[in-house]
Chains A and B, each alone.
Chain A
Amino acid sequence: MKMKLKGTITALAVTLALVGILAACSQENSGPSSSGTVTLNAAGATFPYPIYSKWFSEYQKLHPNVAINYQSIGSGGGIRQLHAGTVDFGASDMPVKDDMLQQMNLHVVQFPTVLGAVVPSYNLPGIDEPLKFTPAALAGIYLGKITKWNAPEIQKNNPGVKLPAKDITVVHRSDGSGTTFVWTDYLSKVSPEWKSKVGSNTSIQWPVGLGGKGNEGVAGIVKQTPYSIGYVELIYALQNKMPYGLVQNASGNFVKASLETAEDAAAGAASEMTNDVRVSITNPPGKNAYPICSFTYLLIPVQIPDATKRDAIKDFLHWMLTDGQGMVESLDYAQLPDAVKRIDVEHISLIS
């Protein structure tokens, strides 16, 4: 009798649990008719992740039946998953060149979405004022030749700051990263030694340092590790109240990354931009330009067979170029220059 009661209770409990789980599952499906729900999967760059997550969340509030699930796995990941066909569109800070497009058999339209800046963020206990870095200092640190914080190359540009005699913990990306591309693109332009020894790409052989996964990972390590330095997109440093340094630009001025200095950097390139939006805007000539900026791109396939998905993507792109652009400055990204916006709008019609 006792066994029978226990058995019944167990069966009842299991059934209730299953019912609960099924109810939760179906609750997700209820609400606006699930037949009209469009889910788009996307993956890619961590550089624009804060603004993308904001956009997709806001867009979903306006269109409750469209859920765009974006996973920030790095630009390399975005390109790869697009190639494997497991996502509907991808995102990359590094514009994809023709030879790679051919090699991966990708037919995509590349849409610049925002303008962002890569900053050298650091963790120096007790030091409040922002440090100034010359290109030689940054290259030296990342080449592993400058190993202490109070090295002359850093100290001489920061006369009022007492830098500690501690080892520098260098942090870089462990994953295939467009941010790495922007950073190394800049270093290659300003340091011939870097260019010949290491080069510029999304995934390189780092001379020194710890690897973090994504912009989030690098910021996480820098925040937790005293006397460390890492390169991250501006918003990650701002949102986490992490100090970041000024960088000396091509005109010789030490510039702090901001909306204005980023727009300055893009100004020259934007006016020359033709149909091919794949440009590098690092180390531009402008007086007040921040030298390490980049556009970031959405990689949208030219052919999208599913009509509901295609319409959703196109509608999102229109929204992104109008209302969406209005949101970027609150997250310290710069809007696209008008010339670029125009080209983007034209390119939307390329998607069929």
Chain B
Amino acid sequence: MNSRLGWRKFVNAFMLTLTGLCALLSVSVLLIVLGYLGWNGWQYLTWTFLTHLPAPVGESGGGMANAIVGSAKLLLVAAVTGIPTGLLGGIYLAEFGGRTFAFLVRYSADLLNGVPSIVMGIFAYTVVVLPMHHFSALAGGLALGVMLIPVVLRSTEDFLRAVPNPLREGALALGASKWKAIATIVIPASIRAIATGALLGLARVAGETAPLLFTSFNNQFWSHGLNQPTASLPVMIYQYAISPYADWHRQAWAAGFILLMLVLIANIGARLILSRKSPAPRG
């Protein structure tokens, strides 16, 4: 009996240590990613990189200024199209929704969320690029915006539902109409959480490359307005990483570093804010 117990104790210690190793390994992967990218990316993050346009192939002295601005432009279009749709749709689901239609909306949002990003690129190509007969920042931004909708919709609905009902009913009891109660009491109570949900969504689409490959395409120069193809950080990283040029590799590291830092800061910031839930505003 004792040896059986000894064996069980051994297995216990062994397996529990093993799980600890698994956790350690999983954590260390992220640390390796951060470390390697940080080391390589930081040293190649030069002023030239940030302010110059790409140089002709094989020449040094190029940069990704147009890609940085291009990515910002794409995110702006995505935010303008995706956030209001998701926000208002989420308000509908939380405050007004009937049963079947609300189910349909939620199901659609889940569907959209699961669409592979390359398929989203196909969608934007058929709906925007083909009719317009050219690649454009608009097409790319819309592809990203559609990816943003389900994220914002779900988080808005969840955070609005989390607002305690007494708040709503108090407003109604004081004579406010339903929409006024929502606009002045319910939304402000959850606005921080909703905003961070939107921020997380933006961080996710900021790194997406596949939807941009045949919508916003790429551009060696500045792209003017929304109707032209535009360079973007993820597409440039991809193009430069698979090339043989050492200078392009360095730029890819630097661009990857910028992208990763932005994404991580947004994620960490958003989650920190969410974990410190604000108390209900005192009247």
**Which B62-81 residues have C-beta < 8 A from chain A?**
69, 72-73, 76
Q: Is A205 an interface residue (CB 8 A)?
A: no
Let me know if B222 and A86 touch, CB within 8 A: no
Any chain B CB within 8 A of the CB of A84?
yes
Quick one: given A3-B281, A86-B129, A220-B242, are A41 and B72 in contact (CB under 8 Å)?
no
A21 and B217 in contact, given A216-B242, A216-B244 (Cβ under 8 angstroms): no
A41 touches B57 (CB 8 A): no
Residues of A contacting B76 with CB < 8 Å?
Answer: 18, 21
When the two chains form their complex, are residues B228 and A57 in contact, meaning their CB atoms are under 8 A apart? no
Please, how many angstroms separate the alpha-carbon atoms of A242 and B245 in the complex? 11
Within 8 A of B (CB), among A1-43: 3, 10, 18, 21, 24-25, 28-29, 34, 37, 39, 41
User: Which chain A residues lie closer than 8 Å to B58 at the CB level?
Assistant: 50, 235, 239, 331
User: What's the minimum C-beta distance from A141 to chain B, rounded to whole angstroms?
Assistant: 20
Contacts of A28 in B (CB 8 A): 69, 222-224
Are A84 and B244 neighbours in the complex by a CB distance under 8 Å?
Answer: no
On whether the beta carbons of A54 and B69 are closer than 8 Å, the reply is: no
B130 at the interface (CB under 8 A from A): yes
A217 within 8 A of B: yes
A206 at interface (Cβ–Cβ under 8 A)? Answer: no
61-120 of chain A: CB within 8 A of chain B: 67, 69-71, 84-87
Tell whether A239 pairs with B245 under 8 Å between CB atoms, given A49-B57, A53-B57, A86-B133: yes
Instruction: Give per-residue flags for B217-232: 1 if the beta carbon is below 8 A from chain A beta carbons, else 0.
Output: 1111111110011000
**Contacting residues, chain B, for A87 (C-beta < 8 A):** 134
- Is B176 in the interface zone, CB < 8 Å from A? no
Using CB atoms, name the residue of chain A closest to B75: A21
Decide: A217 near B218, CB < 8 A? Known: A37-B224, A54-B56, A57-B56.
no
B165 CB-CB contact with A under 8 Å: no
Q: Report whether A24 and B69 are in contact in the complex, using a CB–CB cutoff of 8 Å.
A: yes
Closest B residue by C-beta to A60: B221
Answer whether A69 and B229 are a contact pair too, CB < 8 Å, given A37-B224, A39-B224: yes
Q: Does A3 contact B221, Cβ atoms closer than 8 Å?
A: no
In-complex Cβ contact of A34 among B130, B220, B224 (8 A): B224
Find out whether the CB atom of A70 lies under 8 angstroms from the CB atom of B220.
Answer: yes
Q: What B residues does A239 contact at CB under 8 A? A: 57-58, 244-245
Does B108 count as interface, using CB distance less than 8 angstroms? Answer: no
Give the contacting residue for A242; candidates B195, B223, B239, B244; CB below 8 A. Answer: B244
Whether B242 contacts A217 by the Cβ 8 Å rule is: yes
**Within 8 Å CB of B218, what residues of A?**
69, 71
Answer whether residue B243 sits at the interface, using C-beta atoms and an 8 A cutoff: yes
Q: Is the CB of A29 within 8 A of B224?
A: yes
A56: chain B residues at CB < 8 Å are 220
Q: Is the CB of B245 within 8 A of A240?
A: yes
Contacts of A214 in B (CB 8 A): 242-243
Contact between B243 and A216 (Cβ–Cβ < 8 Å)?
A: yes
- A219–B249 CA distance with the chains assembled, in angstroms: 13
Whether a CB of chain B sits under 8 angstroms from the CB of A310 is no
Additional pairs, 10, CB under 8 Å, beyond known A39-B228, A219-B243, A242-B244: A50-B57, A53-B57, A54-B57, A54-B59, A60-B221, A69-B221, A71-B218, A222-B244, A223-B244, A240-B246
Which 7 pairs show the lowest CB-CB distances between chains A and B?
A: A219-B244, A28-B222, A216-B243, A50-B57, A239-B58, A53-B56, A67-B221
Residues of A within 8 A of B (CB): 3, 10, 18, 21, 24-25, 28-29, 34, 37, 39, 41, 49-50, 53-54, 56-57, 60, 67, 69-71, 84-87, 212-214, 216-217, 219-220, 222-223, 235-236, 239-240, 242, 331
**5 intermolecular pairs with C-beta atoms under 8 Å apart:** A21-B73, A37-B224, A41-B134, A84-B130, A86-B129
